[in-house]
Amino acid sequence: MTVLVTGGAGFIGSNFIFYELEKHPEDRIVCLDKLTYAGNLSTLKAVLEKPNFRFVKEDICHREAVYQLFEEEKPDMVVHFAAESHVDRSIENPGVFLETNIMGTAVLMDACRKYGIKRYHQVSTDEVYGDLPLDRPDLLFTEETPLHTSSPYSSSKAGADLLVMAYHRTFGLPVTISRCSNNYGPYQFPEKLIPLMIANCLADKPLPVYGEGKNVRDWLYVEDHCKAIDLIIRKGKEGEIYNIGGHNEMANIDIVKLILKELGKPESLITYVTDRKGHDMRYAIDPAKIHRELGWLPETMFAEGIKKTIQWYLDNKEWWETIISGEYQNYYREMYGNR
Ligand SMILES: NC(=O)c1ccc[n+]([C@@H]2O[C@H](COP(=O)([O-])OP(=O)(O)OC[C@H]3O[C@@H](n4cnc5c(N)ncnc54)[C@H](O)[C@@H]3O)[C@@H](O)[C@H]2O)c1
């Protein structure tokens, strides 16, 4: 079977490629990635030479090139990770989010219709459900929770989800969607909370925390997300949405303090900065459906996962130190410099 993975040079996509090549060595993986600031070919170094792996640098919005690739590879499945994924950037520049996350998804699905496909899988996010109040720990997002987005990022992801379901209903495209909570683990771009805090801690730089740091997220180790997607594409039912989450809610400030403790650094490094516009308070996923129907459960608990992640960033400094340079420095100054 040939699996086309978009966005495979990014955080979750690369982890998914490693997982698939290990778990299903009989399959061929084709990775399509534009290599935006968030994509890094060096991440895929270990698999680039494998005979059952191919990397193609291309934009998912580029219709002719996408069709050409489908013509060449005739993929049996598409697992669509490629996206603009950072909420802060979507507040600065919404346009590229609409282009990649919505139009790019449409191009891929048009290619699937034209060339035929066994399964198209859309990797979505819990952010499409909006947020929950902090004082109602009994409330969780289920697959039936109405879409209620806050940021241009989550709106573009919700728009893509609606389009995916429309292609299923209108054209009979065999689709599935997964909506996952916050991921952490190896190869996450250092603009996201956990790697940013680890990198700053190691450099004894201030740790910028939005507002009072009370915002709560449900954290899942990236490999558990990859395992869930692997199950959905092979055993999940067409036309279904599956929530994926770790039942591991933590306030941002507690994560930051935990990282400081693990790295033996003082809490005085914490610097509170002006909150993000429209910042969601709490996300919490109910993963009962995927557990009930596909037998999925998270395997890496947070206490173990965060230790593994910190160790990975300690062992792979070269990977992220190269990234924290040049253009990223300018972006960092713009985001946190005047807050
Ligand atoms: N990170 C999380 O916690 C999380 C949680 C739930 C869902 N998701 C979703 O999972 C997916 C992957 O997230 P991530 O954190 O790995 O993102 P990422 O930003 O690390 O990687 C995105 C990848 O997509 C590529 N890309 C971007 N625009 C492209 C385009 N136009 N054409 C081709 N490639 C393009 C980038 O080069 C990069 O390699 C996204 O769809 C995101 O919405 C992420």
Range of the domain at 58: 2-188+218-247
| The total number of structural domains that make up the chain | 1
* pLDDT computed for residue 323 by the predictor: 83
**SS3 of 252, please?**
helix
Tell me if 300 is assigned to some domain.
no
* pLDDT computed for residue 246 by the predictor: 86
Tell me if 48 is assigned to some domain.
yes
State pLDDT tens for residues 55-70: 999 999 999 999 999 9
Tell me if 313 is assigned to some domain.
no
Tell me if 261 is assigned to some domain.
no
Tell me if 272 is assigned to some domain.
no
Which pair of tokens denotes residue 69? Answer: 């690739």
Task: For residue 12, give the ligand 1 atom closest to its CA.
Answer: 16
State pLDDT tens for residues 234-267: 999 999 999 999 899 999 999 999 999 999 999 9
Tell me if 65 is assigned to some domain.
yes
Which pair of tokens denotes residue 264? Answer: 């033996």
* Residue of 5, 12, 163 to test ligand 1 pocket, by largest number of atoms within 8 Å of CB: 12
Q: Read out DSSP for 77-136?
A: EEEE--S---HHHHHH--HHHIIIIIIHHHHHHHHHHHH--SEEEEEEEGGGG--B-TT-
- For the chain, report the end-to-end CA distance as a whole number of angstroms: 50
Kindly report the CATH number assigned to the domain that includes residue 75: 3.40.50.720
Tell me if 315 is assigned to some domain.
no
Mean pLDDT split into 10-residue runs, the chain, 339 residues: 98 98 98 94 94 98 98 98 95 97 98 98 98 93 97 98 98 98 96 94 95 94 98 98 94 96 96 90 96 98 96 95 72 64
Compute, in angstroms, the gap from residue 33 CA to the centroid of ligand 1. Answer: 10
Tell me if 170 is assigned to some domain.
yes
* Residue of 4, 11, 187 to test ligand 1 pocket, by largest number of atoms within 8 Å of CB: 11
Compute, in angstroms, the gap from residue 266 CA to the centroid of ligand 1. Answer: 33
